[in-house]
């Protein structure tokens, strides 16, 4: 039986004094003493240089690795969730890995359908209908029967996003979603995130809470609602973009290079 959350917990993500280990070395901390609260409808961007712990933070939030210490609740239930009988709650969130983590022996269509077949045991015909709608929205139709090896990075990331959303999660965690994308595809992702936040038709118009990571804050200007930085094992909430611009130049200079800096 799951441990009940404190009575005051109403957040989507509620972390108190959490320390996070690296997925490569689960006993070595990369984030210390994290206290963080994400409410429904939030749109967070967490910035940090390579190795700062952004991916490890999302893996912990996704319940794939356990915190070293502290308490983490997702939608009122204690995490991590590894038990089979609690899986339905865990599937109310989804993680898009930076590299996609697709199965290269499956087609694009089969990769997107996999969560439906595995977690919901849908018959092929019903799964196919849902997958086809996501293929259309993601503009992936021409590659539906190709394997991921035939696709460029821009399209691999879209396949991973479709696979994450096909189970209609309430929270979307996206690890460096704009990394390695060309300008057109970056604009597509930013526009699609706004559509998710406002309630996409394929998700029954229900808004999705979004947490994304980045090594470059500039594309997110006037997009996300809340910003934070991971640096030297510390998680610093900056607030809105206006508050970010007023923050310490030393804290931000690697992540917010001015347009004129070359």
Per-residue pLDDT tens digits for 77-119: 999 988 888 999 999 999 999 999 999 999 999 999 999 988 8
Architecture of domain 40-59+92-231+240-261: 3-Layer(aba) Sandwich (3.40)
The structure tokens 């060309």 sit at 182
Q: How does the average pLDDT of the chain come out, rounded?
A: 90
Q: Where do the structural domains in the chain lie, given as residue ranges? A: 40-59+92-231+240-261
Which of these ranges, 96-100, 103-107, 183-187, 253-257, has the smallest mean pLDDT? 253-257
Res. 248 pLDDT band, cuts 50 70 90: low
Confidence of residue 226 (pLDDT cuts 50, 70, 90): very high
CB contact at 8 A, 235 and 52: no
Question: How many Å apart are CA 219 and CA 208, to the nearest integer?
Answer: 20
Q: What is the pTM of this model?
A: 0.91
DSSP state of 5: P
The strand ranges marked E within the chain are 13-21, 29-38, 43-47, 69-74, 77-78, 93-96, 171-174, 209-214, 226-231, 234-239
Q: Which residues contact 159 (CB under 8 A, 6 or more apart)?
A: 100, 102, 108, 111, 112, 138, 140, 143, 148, 151
Sheet with 171-174: list strands edge to edge: 93-96, 171-174, 209-214, 43-47, 226-231, 234-239
């Amino acid at each position: 039986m799951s441990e009940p959350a404190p009575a005051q917990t109403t957040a989507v993500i509620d972390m108190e004094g959490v320390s996070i280990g690296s997925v490569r070395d689960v006993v070595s901390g990369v984030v210390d003493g994290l206290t963080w609260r994400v409410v429904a409808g939030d749109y967070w961007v967490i910035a940090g240089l390579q190795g700062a712990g952004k991916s490890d933070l999302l893996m912990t939030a996704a319940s794939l690795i356990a915190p070293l210490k502290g308490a983490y609740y997702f939608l009122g239930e204690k995490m991590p969730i590894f038990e089979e009988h609690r899986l339905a709650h865990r599937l109310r969130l989804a993680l898009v890995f930076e590299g996609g983590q697709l199965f290269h022996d499956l087609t694009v269509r089969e990769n997107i359908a996999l969560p439906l077949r595995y977690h919901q045991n849908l018959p092929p015909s019903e799964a196919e209908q849902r997958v086809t709608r996501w293929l259309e929205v993601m503009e992936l139709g021409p590659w539906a029967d190709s394997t991921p090896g035939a696709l460029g990075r821009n399209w691999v990331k879209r396949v991973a996003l479709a696979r994450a959303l096909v189970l209609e999660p309430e929270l979307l965690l996206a690890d460096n979603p704009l990394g390695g994308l060309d300008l057109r595809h970056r604009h597509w992702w930013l526009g699609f995130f706004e559509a998710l936040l406002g309630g996409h038709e394929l998700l029954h118009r229900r808004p999705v809470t979004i947490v994304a990571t980045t090594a470059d804050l500039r594309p997110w200007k006037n997009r996300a609602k809340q910003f934070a930085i991971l640096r030297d094992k510390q998680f610093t909430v900056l607030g809105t973009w206006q508050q970010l611009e007023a923050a310490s130049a030393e804290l931000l200079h690697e992540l917010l290079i001015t347009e004129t800096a070359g």
